Amino acid sequence: MNSRVKTAWLFLAPMVLLMLVVAVWPLARSIWFSFTDININDISAAEFVGWENYFGDYGLFFNPSDEGGFWAGDWGISIRNTFSFAVVSVILETLTGLGVALLLNQEFKGRGLVRTAVLVPWAIPTIVSAKMWGWMLNDQFGVINNYLMALGLISQKIAWTAEPAYALWTVVLVDVWKTTPFMALLILAALQTVPKDCYEAARVDGVHPLRVFWKITLPLIRQPLLVAIVFRLLDSLRVFDLIYVLTANGSTTISMSGFVRREMVEYGNMGYGSAASTSLFLIILLTAIIFLKLAKVKLSEDAK
């Protein structure tokens, strides 16, 4: 056994080393930067400033000069935007994914074709999706505005990605379109592990299909469903590409990742930006822990 354990660590060494270099070191470094005033103009002139970026006079949290409160400041707005986006997006994705999975679980002619078609949004790169939808939602030449006007549903062309009331929900729409296939496939795989005799027994007993779904199907696919939801939730909290390419990245739609990148790259405040990114990391970690505890999801399992 001993030599096997040694082999194990030998095999693991390259990967662990790489993870340390590529993931742990940059994260540690970024956290270190968050305690300095490093600026992109001159990286070598960084000075240690302690908690100033977080809690100081002009820091991220408990900022006395924030007119209108924390939630009206740029960082607060980005947190609100990100959570609104993530929660609504994941709920919608799960519902539509569930719907599509239930559909694909039925047997009918052309099922393979539908399954293939469903994969298309997922296969398209995010940037391409953003550009495609941006074009369709264009306020002057977009096909969506055209159809809506032709159907008489709107009287004036709407600037979907610019108007403050619609912009964030437009991004949610595109995200749901893009990630429903992922959820649908996961749920479908889970549905297909449910033994058919459960359904047979229920049918023989004359149970209403909705009750079958609620009392039989759902509990049986609960575990994989929750894992999928947690994955998607944490993914959504990190959203960047879609908002960056689809909208003007102003205060109505900016996400936490967008805020960090703007601070670090456009304003050059690498220290302040690193503080924001560390906060983002902690927020995501906290969300993951809370969700997993609440949903009582089991993560690992030993080999047979």
Q: How many CB atoms lie within 10 A of CB 248?
A: 13
The C-alpha atoms of residue 214 and residue 217 are separated, in whole angstroms, by 6
Q: Is 154 in the site for other proteins (CB under 8 A)?
A: no
Q: Which stretch binds other proteins (CB under 8 A): 87-95, 212-220, 254-262?
A: 254-262
Q: Is the Cβ of residue 8 or residue 290 nearer to other proteins in the bound state?
A: 8
- The distance of closest approach from Cβ of residue 91 to other proteins in the complex, given in angstroms and rounded to an integer, is 18
Q: Is the Cβ of residue 80 or residue 115 nearer to other proteins in the bound state?
A: 115
Q: Is 212 in the site for other proteins (CB under 8 A)?
A: no
The C-alpha atoms of residue 117 and residue 96 are separated, in whole angstroms, by 15
Q: Is 241 in the site for other proteins (CB under 8 A)?
A: yes
Helix (H, G, I), strand (E, B) or coil at 242: helix
- The distance of closest approach from Cβ of residue 206 to other proteins in the complex, given in angstroms and rounded to an integer, is 13
- The distance of closest approach from Cβ of residue 215 to other proteins in the complex, given in angstroms and rounded to an integer, is 19
Among 53, 89, 170, 277, binds other proteins (CB under 8 A): 277
Q: Is 232 in the site for other proteins (CB under 8 A)?
A: no
Task: Please give the size of the binding site for other proteins, defined by CB under 8 A.
Answer: 130
* Residue that is written with structure tokens 């033994």 in the block: 195
69-98 binders of other proteins (CB under 8 A): none
Q: Which residues pair with 48 in a beta bridge?
A: 36
Sequence-ordered alpha helix ranges (H) in the chain: 2-19, 25-33, 52-55, 74-105, 111-123, 126-136, 143-150, 164-193, 196-204, 209-211, 218-237, 241-246, 256-261, 270-295
CA atoms within 13 A on the CB side of 113: 3
Nearest to 255 by CA among 168, 177, 179, 169: 168
161-200 binders of other proteins (CB under 8 A): 161-164, 177, 181-182, 185-186, 188-190, 193
What single letter denotes the amino acid at residue 274? S
43-62 binders of other proteins (CB under 8 A): 43, 57-58
Among 126, 170, 179, 217, binds other proteins (CB under 8 A): 126
Q: Which stretch binds other proteins (CB under 8 A): 85-93, 104-112, 210-218?
A: 104-112
105-124 binders of other proteins (CB under 8 A): 106, 108, 110, 113-124
Q: Which stretch binds other proteins (CB under 8 A): 87-95, 210-218, 222-230?
A: 222-230
What single letter denotes the amino acid at residue 180? T
Contact predicate 100/117, CB 8 Å: no
Q: How many CB atoms lie within 10 A of CB 209?
A: 11
Q: Is 304 in the site for other proteins (CB under 8 A)?
A: yes
Q: Is the Cβ of residue 87 or residue 124 nearer to other proteins in the bound state?
A: 124
